[in-house]
């Protein structure tokens, strides 16, 4: 074998070794993908625009960008978010504050970590033709209200005007199903309705007298927030032990969720479409109305999105105590305001110029569609 041949083999071996060395050094230099922290969120109800911010945060990659892998579990009539979180089947839940306080009252150590809704969406409706122009005017009338923890805002308003709804004195309480049929058929004088749901159901219905949809002009809408008896609704909560061991995860989750809600504020139509892709049960028209109304409950917030208003907490807790939703007074330990504040700072640090207050935001003028389609 000649020298040239040996020289060729030697050069080939050097080339192979060099190739292997470059490959190994490149592999070592390549950044390793950071493992995402898993979080399971339990919703209060089925997929709808009420939860748009969470679906948007997942669909747009906000959770992933903040190092999270989030699983969203839908709710329903047979699901109590507090029970799901307390049993460890979800890390974070979403429910109305009175329900959280009631669960804490039984000894379960759950804590509110962000108060997403800054105001109540509960209303009581009457027909303009009824002549009932105020809560006080419901004296002696048949008044519809939902049971099972949803009645207390109205009870407080009726009591404020001299009625005793718990004992049907001065007013007749009607246990209203979760629909508006009794009101539409005028079997009751007043009906409970959320601004973002049942109010729209009435407006999506044809008036048999005209053949056209009912209008807001046909209704008196009494917002219990304006009556001074509003109670805080959708808030995020978790077990205290989980919070203590996962404050960074909780902060990032709240921050990414806030970012999702801010996106929905500024891109309501696109956000509605994200909801529809995740759960097309309710029509686009109904979801569009709901998205606009949900934004009104969240923003503006002078404290910043998700921060608990201390006065609103005290009012909710006081009403809950008065109507025996809870047996003992709730303290500020029921919520952790530092997490929501830290989340806002985290969000500002990572998304420059983001508006977390929504002071200049204006709701859209949304027209309902027949049947919410």
Q: Which two tokens stand for residue 367?
A: 């027209």
> What percentage of the chain reaches a pLDDT higher than 90?
84
| pLDDT tens figures, 136-165 | 999 999 999 998 778 889 999 999 999 999
Quick one: pLDDT band at residue 72, thresholds 50, 70, 90? very high
88: left (phi over 0), alpha (psi -120 to 50) or beta: left
| pLDDT tens figures, 225-252 | 999 999 999 999 999 999 999 999 999 9
Q: What is the pTM of this model?
A: 0.88
Radius of gyration of the chain (CA): 27
- Share the mean pLDDT of the chain: 91
CB-based contact 152:182 (threshold 8 Å): no
Q: What gap in Å lies between CA 166 and CA 177, rounded to an integer? A: 18
Confidence (pLDDT) at 31:
43
Pairing of strands 37-42, 68-73: parallel
Quick one: pLDDT band at residue 33, thresholds 50, 70, 90? low
CB-based contact 318:229 (threshold 8 Å): no
Which DSSP string do the residues of 347-370 spell out, in sequence order? HHHHSTT--SS-TT-----PPP-G
Which DSSP string do the residues of 146-214 spell out, in sequence order? --TTSSHHHHHHHHHTT-BGGGTBSSEEEE--SSSHHHHTTSSSEEEEETTTHHHHHHTSB-TTTSSB-
In this prediction, residues 88-96 reach a mean pLDDT of: 97
Residue 75's alpha-carbon distances to 87, 93, 177, 370, in angstroms, are 15, 10, 18, 26
Confidence (pLDDT) at 22:
41
| pLDDT tens figures, 274-329 | 999 999 888 999 999 999 999 999 999 999 999 999 999 999 999 999 888 899 99
């Amino acid at each position: 074998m000649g020298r040239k041949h040996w020289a060729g083999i030697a050069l080939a071996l050097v080339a192979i070794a060099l190739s292997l060395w470059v490959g190994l050094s490149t592999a070592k230099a390549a950044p390793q993908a950071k493992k995402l922290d898993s979080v399971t969120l339990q919703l209060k109800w089925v997929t709808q625009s009420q939860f748009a911010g969470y679906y948007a945060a997942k669909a747009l990659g906000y959770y992933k960008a903040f190092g999270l892998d989030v699983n969203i579990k839908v709710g329903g009539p047979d699901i109590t978010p507090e029970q799901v979180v307390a049993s460890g089947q979800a890390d974070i839940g979403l429910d109305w504050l009175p329900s959280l306080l009631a669960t804490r009252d039984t000894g379960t150590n759950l804590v509110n970590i962000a108060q997403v809704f800054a105001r109540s969406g509960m209303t009581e409706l009457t027909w303009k033709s009824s002549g009932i122009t105020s809560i006080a005017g419901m004296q002696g009338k048949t008044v519809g209200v939902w049971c099972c923890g949803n009645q207390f805002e109205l009870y407080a308003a009726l009591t404020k005007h001299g009625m005793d709804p718990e004992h049907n004195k001065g007013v007749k309480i009607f246990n209203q199903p979760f629909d508006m049929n009794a009101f539409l058929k005028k079997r009751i004088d007043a009906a409970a309705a959320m601004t973002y749901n049942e109010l729209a159901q009435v407006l999506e219905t044809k008036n048999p007298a005209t053949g056209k949809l009912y209008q807001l002009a046909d209704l008196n809408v009494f917002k219990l927030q304006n009556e001074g008896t509003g109670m805080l609704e959708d808030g995020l909560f978790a077990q205290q032990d989980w919070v203590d061991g996962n404050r960074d995860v909780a902060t990032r989750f709240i921050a990414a969720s806030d970012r999702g809600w801010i996106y929905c504020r500024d891109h309501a139509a696109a956000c509605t479409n994200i909801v529809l892709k995740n759960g097309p049960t309710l029509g686009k028209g109904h979801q569009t109305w709901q998205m606009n109304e949900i934004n009104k409950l969240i923003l503006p917030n002078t404290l910043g999105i998700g921060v608990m208003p201390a006065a609103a907490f005290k009012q909710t807790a006081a009403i809950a105590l008065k109507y025996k939703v809870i047996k003992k007074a709730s303290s500020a330990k029921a919520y952790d305001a530092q997490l929501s504040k830290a989340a806002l700072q985290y969000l500002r640090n990572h998304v420059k110029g983001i508006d977390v207050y929504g002071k200049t935001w204006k709701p859209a003028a949304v027209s309902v569609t027949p049947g919410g389609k």
